[in-house]
Structure 1
Amino acid sequence: MTDQPLTGLPASGLPDRALVVGDPERAAAVAEQLTDMRPIARRREFHTYLGSWRGESVLVSSHGVGSPGAQCLFEELAEGGVSTIVRLGTTGALQPGIEDGDLVIADACIRDDGVTVQLIPPSYPAAASPEIVLALQEAAVARGAAFHRGIVWTRAAFYPDLVDLGLERYVEAGVLSIEMELSALLVFAARRRLRAGGVLVVDGAAADGLRDGDGYNPHREVVADGVRAGVGVALDALVAVSR
């Protein structure tokens, strides 16, 4: 059977659960925790592994940085048979009390992802599947992981320039954090009648009043500890939801 064009994934026969991350190296590290793991596709930024977690068959795939490329992975995962997708990523805090290494579980996202506005009107919501949200929350509680739950801002521009993108407005509105891909996943999943959600690890502060003088540095042990916690929470939740 011919592999799919962008990711190299098989065109059918994939397990129904997938964990997606941005960094191919993170995908490899997560996959090392699976039982009977083996790589099944590696093309561009899309690296995918098959294994099992708590007796359930799962995929771990990377999608790179930004929603347009991530959308390609989501499409081809679904085409191959995946029906439940959890994104594990990193995020910048927008509210006081959200510390580096904490987890953010998204109820919904603001759609500034740069791609879904070309697919469906902007009034269409980017909402996580309730059963995924609850499974993530229960897994975080069971593992004793610090977490926050609420609205996340998905934005295409990592480094903003001349255009005011509304940071202060969203901070005042209580948006928890900012990242780059989750709203694309949630919109895609809703349109395809799939289940999806996301848990994000705080790797710094994105709001002006919360930033320290050292600048953005995600390569710290407190963030690595958060990622390790997030991996367990994401995998536990992924296999906890019933088919």
Structure 2
Amino acid sequence: MHVPTAHLQAKRDEIAPIVLLPGDPLRAEYIAQTYLEDPVRYNEVRGMFGYTGRYAGKRISVQGTGMGAPSMGIYAHELIWGYGAKTLIRIGTAGALQPQMQLRDVVLGVSASYDGSYRDYQVPGTLVPTASFALLHTAFTMAKEIGLRVHAGPILSSDTFYAEDGLESLKSWQKYGILAVEMEAASLYLAAQRANVQALCMLTISDLPFKGEGSSSEERQKSFHTMMELALRCAVQA
């Protein structure tokens, strides 16, 4: 793939092989400025900021992806095929679907069911979007070691944010043990599987839809920091 790409203006060597993927470009900026040594902004096309710097001596990039599967699919594809990304870790928020889960819990998506249509990936059967075991094992082990409330299991990537039936559609997924709902993991996992690279979706529970509860600004800030630090530590080990 020719670089710069349609959505990334970086030169080929300006993006690291390890990329953290928050949806919010301002969170990408915050992570870079807070955690990375000597961060350099390599992208601002469409306001989707990307930075490269060092954490614990390792070169790491942070790239905003926007919201939803198509946006994630674009950035994952260009990072992998244009810039040679080998490890991609989504860091985002989610709504919990299981009653035992609490605000600020961390969820690691083992697999990602989806309610959209991914026509780019066709097989004569059902392709299951799945995380990379090595990343998953590293993240789960680290989370346990530092005492986080962590859950590893299936999640849902949904194209619908405001459903007309309220919570009814989520109840169907809840019955099958789906831990949480977000919007991008399935797209990331499929892109990574197609290219034989590593990917993991790491989420902080920000909402409990069936209880009508959400995190306060302070709780979101603290839980985001916990997840960011876990993602960075995992990236160093990748």
TM-score (norm 1): 0.89
RMSD across aligned positions (CA):
2.0
Matches within 5 A, 1:206-217: 206=209, 208=210, 210-212=211-213, 217=214
Matches within 5 A, 1:84-95: 84-95=87-98
The SS at the match of 1:120 is coil
User: In 1, Cα distance between the equivalents of 2:100 and 2:188?
Assistant: 27
Deviation at 1:219, TM superposition (A): 5.0
Is 1:186 aligned to 2:189, yes or no?
yes
Question: Residue 161 and residue 60 in structure 1: after superposition, are their counterparts in 2 closer, same or farther (change >3 A)?
Answer: same
Aligned residues: 234
Deviation at 1:141, TM superposition (A): 2.0
Unaligned runs of 5+ in 2: none
Bigger mean CA offset, 67-76 vs 114-123: 114-123
User: In 1, Cα distance between the equivalents of 2:216 and 2:61?
Assistant: 26
Deviation at 1:119, TM superposition (A): 3.3
Asked if 2 retains the 8 angstrom alpha-carbon contact of 1:17 and 1:84, the reply is yes
1:104-147, Cα deviation, whole Å (9 max, x unpaired):
011111022x3524533571010000001011112212332211
Matches within 5 A, 1:90-239: 90-112=93-115, 114-121=116-123, 123-161=126-164, 166-206=169-209, 208=210, 210-212=211-213, 217-239=214-236
Asked if 2 retains the 8 angstrom alpha-carbon contact of 1:94 and 1:176, the reply is yes
Question: Which position in structure 1 is the counterpart of 2:72?
Answer: 70
Question: Which position in structure 1 is the counterpart of 2:36?
Answer: 34
Deviating 4+ runs (over 4 angstroms):
162-165
Query: Aligned letter for 2:4?
Result: D
Bigger mean CA offset, 41-50 vs 175-184: 41-50
User: In 1, Cα distance between the equivalents of 2:144 and 2:165?
Assistant: 41
Matches within 5 A, 1:14-29: 14-29=15-30
User: In 2, Cα distance between the equivalents of 1:141 and 1:158?
Assistant: 31
Deviation at 1:5, TM superposition (A): 1.4
Asked if 1 retains the 8 angstrom alpha-carbon contact of 2:204 and 2:227, the reply is yes
Query: Aligned letter for 1:47?
Result: F
Identity of aligned residues (%): 24
Deviation at 1:12, TM superposition (A): 5.1
Is 1:47 aligned to 2:53, yes or no?
no
Asked if 2 retains the 8 angstrom alpha-carbon contact of 1:9 and 1:76, the reply is no
User: In 2, Cα distance between the equivalents of 1:3 and 1:102?
Assistant: 38
Asked if 2 retains the 8 angstrom alpha-carbon contact of 1:150 and 1:175, the reply is yes
User: In 2, Cα distance between the equivalents of 1:224 and 1:234?
Assistant: 15
Unaligned runs of 5+ in 1: none
Query: Aligned letter for 1:6?
Result: H
Query: Aligned letter for 1:18?
Result: V
Query: Aligned letter for 1:223?
Result: R
Asked if 1 retains the 8 angstrom alpha-carbon contact of 2:14 and 2:42, the reply is no
Q: 2:237 aligns with which of 218, 237, 240?
A: 240
Question: Residue 120 and residue 224 in structure 1: after superposition, are their counterparts in 2 closer, same or farther (change >3 A)?
Answer: farther
User: In 2, Cα distance between the equivalents of 1:124 and 1:91?
Assistant: 23
Deviation at 1:223, TM superposition (A): 1.9
User: In 2, Cα distance between the equivalents of 1:204 and 1:89?
Assistant: 12
Deviation at 1:46, TM superposition (A): 2.1
Asked if 2 retains the 8 angstrom alpha-carbon contact of 1:143 and 1:233, the reply is no
Deviation at 1:172, TM superposition (A): 1.3
